Amino acid sequence: MKILIAEDDAVSRRILEAYLRKWGHDVVVAKDGAEAWNQFQREDAPRLAVLDWMMPELDGLQVCSKVRAREHAPFTYILLLTAKGETDDIVTALDAGADDYLTKPYNAMELRSRIGAGERIVRLHEQLETANAALKRLAQTDFLTQVYNRSAIVHRLEEELSRSARSKAPLAVYLLDVDHFKQINDNFGHAAGDQALIEVARRLKEQCRNYDVTGRYGGEEFVVIVPGPTRQEVEAIGERIRMAISRTQISADDLELGVTVSVGGIWIGAGAMASVDVVLKRADELLYEAKRSGRNRVIAAGWDDPSDFLAETAHSGSGI
């Protein structure tokens, strides 16, 4: 395990480093509290630290307090070393955020045991973090299509709208619906319908950049969020999405299905304030206008101001 040691006394620091390397650990060395704090702010910061209490710049207690004050940071196990051994000192150290406490001069085998205990606790935290991340992904993922589910895509849209307004960057939102999906289920069975949805989602993800977002809004409806396009690009992006679905047939068991989508696309201008409900309502209106116009087409609108949708356009494919 990678361990950070912070000790201002050169001799003590070299002895501690030698012990830890002998016991098979990777060691990151800091000569004072400020260097230790800088190490904690790195993306690859050690998850276990041995800190001397008395150090220049920042002492061990100050480093502990700063580490514990971080939000959303991985758990770090801190063992504090000091010549202070009174009960009040121990309470002060633990209250500052230390997980364990060892008085100087320390016994090497006791140090090794305490390091081992800290390592076990860090490993347990890592396992818990991995499990929590997996649970979060499951909670956000549509079981069938493996894209964001309804609640997650709505939440992401809320985040992107907020970011767009804050950073004055444009945003495009597309709501699309698989054409004649009920007929697929009725004529070929629900298994074929499921395969069609899975492939639609896969093709949508294939079209997306790393920072675009795709989610299943419900049934055969999907949402695609595209940050940053110009007003002139919004329709072309929607057309690219439409063509990605319709250009080749979708295989479902022994069947080859011709699947198309109707798309409603809305462009939100830089700095325009918009709510999730209003954006999705307007995208839904544009989607159903595409349906009424013959399906397998994109209808897009620009929105520079929440009260005024501008330059509505329609683009047709081979309507069915």
pLDDT at 320: 37
Tokens of 68: 């514990």
List of the chain residues with pLDDT < 50:
306-320
**pLDDT at res. 83:** 84
* CATH topology for the 150-316 domain: Alpha-Beta Plaits (3.30.70)
Backbone angles phi, psi at 147, to 5 degrees: -105, 180
What's the confidence (pLDDT) of residue 274?
A: 82
Q: 3: part of which helix (H) or strand (E)?
A: strand 2-6
- Domains of the chain, residue spans: 2-139, 150-316
Six-digit token pair at 142?
């549509």
H or E stretch at 165: helix 150-167
- Count how many Cα atoms sit within 13 Å of the Cα of residue 69 in the half-sphere of its side chain: 8
Name residue 119's amino acid: E
What confidence score (pLDDT) does residue 309 get? 41
Q: Give me the sheet containing 26-30, strands edge to edge.
A: 26-30, 2-6, 48-52, 77-82, 100-103
The β-bridge relationship of strands 297-305 and 308-316 is: antiparallel
The whole-number pLDDT of residue 304 equals 61
Residue 64 makes CB contacts below 8 A (sequence gap 6+) with: 51, 78, 80, 93, 96, 97, 98
Report the pLDDT value the prediction gives residue 125, as an integer from 0 to 100. 95
Q: How much is the pLDDT for 82?
A: 86
pLDDT on residue 207: 87
- The pLDDT tens digits for 39-74 are 999 989 999 999 999 998 899 999 999 999 998 889
What CATH fold (topology level) applies to the domain 2-139?
Rossmann fold (3.40.50)
DSSP 74: P
Q: Is 140 helix (H, G, I), strand (E, B) or coil?
A: helix
CA pair distance 204, 240, nearest whole angstrom? 10
Q: Strand, helix or coil at 84?
A: coil
pLDDT score, position 254? 83
Burial class (CB in 10 A: 0-12, 13-18, 19+), 100: middle
Convert the pLDDT of each residue in 105-151 to its tens digit.
889 999 999 999 999 999 999 999 999 989 988 999 999 999 999 99
Which residues are known to be catalytic? 220
